[in-house]
Amino acid sequence: MKAVVIGGGIIGLCSAYYLSEAGYDVTLVDRTDLSDSCSYGNLGMIVPSHFVPLAAPGIVSQGIRWMFNSKSPFYVRPVPTPSLLSWGVKFLRSATEKNVTNATSFLLDINLLSRSLYEDLKDEPGFDFAYEHKGIMMYFRTPQVAEEEVHLAEKAKSMGLDVVSLSKDEAQRLEPEMELDVLGAVHYRCDAHLYPNKLNKQLIRELASRGVNVITGSEVKAIQTKKGQIASIIVGEREISADIFVAAAGAWLPHIMQLAGSNIPLMPGKGYSFTLDNPTQKLNIPAILCEARVAITPMDGKMRYGGTMELGPVNRQVNMNRVQGIVQSVPSYFSNIQLQMPQREEVWYGFRPCSPDGLPYIGYSKQLSNLIVAGGHAMMGLSLGPATGKLVAELASRGGSTSINISAFDPNRFS
């Protein structure tokens, strides 16, 4: 049986990995050279703690306030395209307590599955991606956010997650080199982190060693269908046929689906990061600065800082105001970290693929019976990569039966 995976980010790489493990003859195609996808510059966090979808009550009013601040964590580019307006309407309809309640168990289960698979993968020969299971610290500075985070921690605890709320002094003991200017923190000890740059390169090398045919630098020009199935795809000058096709194209997923005669609501959410190779101060445990929506991860001896969500059409501009917002927020939490603004060429950016309800798309297309959709993971692509790849392989091999319930991730739910 032959499988073609369209997309070479973490979702595509993991899909190819587990399809190969299941015995498929796999071809992976990507429009880039696989050296700088959204999977490289992210913060490397594996987050069972993130069981609340992006579309949640309160995010709309908060997002509107942020939109008028060029340094804020959230921004919508003022380009009112039909796709952005349609996505926005669906997002507004999804940002409800009911959506959060329905999504919680699904997001938790897939995150726990993925963490388990990472723990297996790190012990496989040829893999050493600086995996550490130290948890993640959620730092807060204001009473309102403290109340929200402690409440969420209690919910996480009731769901079986290893989490503890900490006073400032208790948090300080876990970060003795930092000068904390916070009210306290929540330590999600259930979480982990890794160095994505190593992980991606090692997955690519492993795929090559397994005989996976990797085609880079070529876009999918056409998708040819016959009798309700994909017969072949045209990649550059090649025509590639297979039994199963996987659309894992990240922010470019809507384009691939349109070539297949389908529509799927998804918007790119641009994020920025920069990495210090020899930091003067280094955190012991990865951190999220709650009010600022900034993440910091120590990884493989380095420190990576990242954040912001800029919704809009794909663009290659680096908005240094948004990077400045990240830089200026850090000393508000760690007074002994005084960051210098990075040079424009030192700033990485990538496009997170965001669905309107904050849930990924994983499952078969209803229009084409041999097309599996795997995308829309937003900020959790790295966290959910192995689980998604495993589920893709199970869908392909078992005809729809999977090890966890993925009905909430139905890629046809907006059609």
| 60: pLDDT strictly greater than 80 | no
| 69: pLDDT strictly greater than 70 | no
Lowest mean pLDDT among 26-40, 145-159, 191-205, 293-307: 26-40
| 348: pLDDT strictly greater than 90 | yes
* pLDDT tens-place string over residues 196-212: 999 999 999 999 999 99
Nearest to 275, CA basis, from 299, 292, 310: 299
Contact status, residue 218 vs residue 224, Cβ threshold 8 Å: no
Report pLDDT for 358: 94
d(CA 381, CA 407): 18
Report pLDDT for 312: 79
d(CA 28, CA 5): 5
Report pLDDT for 88: 87
Strands (E) across 181-243 are located at 184-188, 192-193, 213-215, 220-226, 229-235, 238-241
Q: How distant is the alpha carbon of residue 246 from its chain centre? A: 18
| 11: pLDDT strictly greater than 90 | yes
| 255: pLDDT strictly greater than 80 | yes
Q: Which fold has domain 2-39+198-264+357-409?
A: FAD/NAD(P)-binding domain (3.50.50)
* pLDDT tens-place string over residues 156-172: 999 999 999 999 999 99
DSSP lists the bridge partners of residue 286 as: none
d(CA 305, CA 267): 23
Q: Which SS3 state, helix, strand or coil, does residue 341 take?
A: coil
301: left (phi over 0), alpha (psi -120 to 50) or beta: left
Contact status, residue 16 vs residue 212, Cβ threshold 8 Å: yes
At the top level of CATH, which class does the domain 48-96+117-192+267-354 belong to? Answer: alpha beta
* pLDDT tens-place string over residues 29-46: 999 999 877 678 999 999
- In the chain, domain spans: 2-39+198-264+357-409, 48-96+117-192+267-354
